[in-house]
Chain A
């Protein structure tokens, strides 16, 4: 496992907003074909961490290495161009646009000449449908359907397929399974596994230990802006992970205290 190439690495990264320290001394490595599950309670700094990776924030100290080379992103667009794609919950798709149009928003395929460019609907639909079907969502077969008519899992899958199609190498998934039903979540987890099989480095943020354990190769738990635990698959039990996510408290005790 560890012989795989490291795609992105954080080295001693600190981030503070004015006097408030949000991240302390973060060290993380994500290899190609590997899923890193980033776990942590609300306010632990998960969002700040992924925003730093995506170029929204710049680290106060420390460095980000892409393929072993130190990089700085001034804008999110730069990170995107270097293959770091962030897919937010339901983000990247437009409910009232067709699948083909939504897939190619901003990078429309055109035909025609000079200023008289024509949006190539047929090509757009074909590529979009194929890209999504290659990820195993065969229910999507008509590129003219509205995105709003898809299920939450399918929309999430469409957004991931879109990111991969446009050359993402590092895929940051921000709670893709929150707010999804059991079956829909399984859909998305399947897509995550497919992205992993294709050799992408995936950073998967979730609240659900079950989902993390289903796809994760590597786990990092954030507590108050620091990495509290960093372990591989099968090294810890579900209960231990849940305790860590709750900020180190014993969940069994917490649960017991709820019961009357």
Chain B
């Protein structure tokens, strides 16, 4: 009798399948309806829309103070590029369900290792760059090892290493060089050009010249290339799938054969090396390197990532979104100087921006999992 009840319910299901069953094999055709829906399904669409709104807003209010001119744009693009280089790997980590705040001390570490390598030990600039990457990579490796071995939240682990590295920066600097301010003289045309110079591109000559960009720092171009590479890694290559799976459900990811610990360690190494890279570009540009810990960059990079639509809980995010988030953040942070608003208001702007972004991301998450009857994790 029981069995009969079951097969009856089975039949009803088969009937309801019959109605929708015709959709089979039509999945290759992309009608406009589904691609439009697909656009709204993407959180970077929200980040892009936010960017456009903020851009229009500041273009209007900053018009009189040349916000839109090439030189004006360079102001916030240069600022954004430094946060942006760090924000992308931080975004990777956040997608994988982790956080790295030790970058605040790794930025100066990258700079002073380079400066000391060249000035104190007479290393070739590129050798010093490699050394700086190696030191940062090693610290990232330590971060990753502690996080994967102990299961202590990465926020706490990297908070600890933040202070450890900050302390080492100052101590080692004073022991080796007797100062916390290192000078780094110009070390060659190529390295200056690639790592720390201002670039201007004009079409034509004289007064009629069309300025494509003016006074953009090398770090901006590094950011563009780095973003393209990271886009490939996260969205095109198979490794991106591993990162998403890691943040989605670590246990299932391990069961599926993904080397979760090694992947996490690699991500920590990437964020540490990205931070060191920013430190190096700053040192080459300014010809000095300081041991001052950049606490601001910790918050800035996290804000960029969240405004870019990466979920704080992990499992979702895009490189494109992070780039838009960084641009938006750059405009708000620097753009206030081009308007008549009080400069103190920029923090308030950023706070509101962050809040709006978090709420939007949260609704996205709910929307995406709405039809599911799964338990909320």
Q: When chains A and B are docked, how far (Å) is the Cα of A106 from the Cα of B244?
A: 11
Main secondary structure of the interface of B (DSSP, over half): helix
List residues of chain A with CB within 8 A of the CB of B258: 105-106
Is B149 part of the binding interface, using a Cβ–Cβ cutoff of 8 Å? Answer: no
Residue pair A141, B27 in contact (C-beta under 8 Å): yes
Chain A residue with Cβ nearest B365: A96
Residue pair A94, B13 in contact (C-beta under 8 Å): no
The interface on chain B, measured as residues whose beta carbon lies within 8 A of the other chain's beta carbons, has a size of 45
Residue pair A106, B316 in contact (C-beta under 8 Å): no
Is A57 part of the binding interface, using a Cβ–Cβ cutoff of 8 Å? Answer: no
Per-residue 0/1 for A124-149: is the Cβ within 8 Å of any B Cβ (1 yes, 0 no)?
01100100010010110111101011
Residue pair B252, A150 in contact (C-beta under 8 Å): no
Q: When chains A and B are docked, how far (Å) is the Cα of A126 from the Cα of B373?
A: 25
Q: Which of B221-246 contact A (CB under 8 A)?
A: 236-238, 240-242, 244-245
Residue from the set B20, B244, B248 with the largest chain A CB neighbour count within 10 Å: B248
Q: CB < 8 Å: which of A94, A150, A181 contacts B245? A: A94
Is A68 part of the binding interface, using a Cβ–Cβ cutoff of 8 Å? Answer: no
Instruction: Point out residues on B near A: beta carbons under 8 Å.
Output: 2-3, 6, 9-10, 13, 17, 20-21, 23-24, 26-27, 34, 38, 41, 236-238, 240-242, 244-245, 248-249, 251-253, 255-258, 311, 315-316, 365, 368-375
Chain B residue with Cβ nearest A180: B373
Residue pair B252, A179 in contact (C-beta under 8 Å): no
Q: When chains A and B are docked, how far (Å) is the Cα of A126 from the Cα of B255?
A: 23
Q: When chains A and B are docked, how far (Å) is the Cα of A148 from the Cα of B373?
A: 9
Residue pair B17, A104 in contact (C-beta under 8 Å): no
Main secondary structure of the interface of A (DSSP, over half): mixed
Q: CB < 8 Å: which of A92, A155, A179 contacts B256? A: A92
Residue from the set B255, B311, B368, B369 with the largest chain A CB neighbour count within 10 Å: B255
Residue pair B372, A148 in contact (C-beta under 8 Å): yes
Residue pair A92, B311 in contact (C-beta under 8 Å): no
Residue pair A150, B368 in contact (C-beta under 8 Å): no
Residue pair A77, B257 in contact (C-beta under 8 Å): yes
12 pairs of residues in contact across A and B, judged by CB atoms under 8 Å: A94-B245, A94-B315, A97-B248, A101-B241, A105-B256, A107-B256, A129-B27, A138-B17, A152-B372, A152-B374, A186-B10, A190-B13
Residue pair A151, B6 in contact (C-beta under 8 Å): no
Chain A residue with Cβ nearest B245: A105
List residues of chain A with CB within 8 A of the CB of B21: 138
List residues of chain A with CB within 8 A of the CB of B245: 94, 97, 101-102, 105-106
Q: When chains A and B are docked, how far (Å) is the Cα of A239 from the Cα of B136?
A: 66
Q: 10 nearest interchain CB pairs?
A: A94-B248, A106-B256, A148-B369, A108-B238, A152-B373, A106-B257, A96-B316, A96-B315, A105-B245, A138-B21
Q: When chains A and B are docked, how far (Å) is the Cα of A91 from the Cα of B252?
A: 6
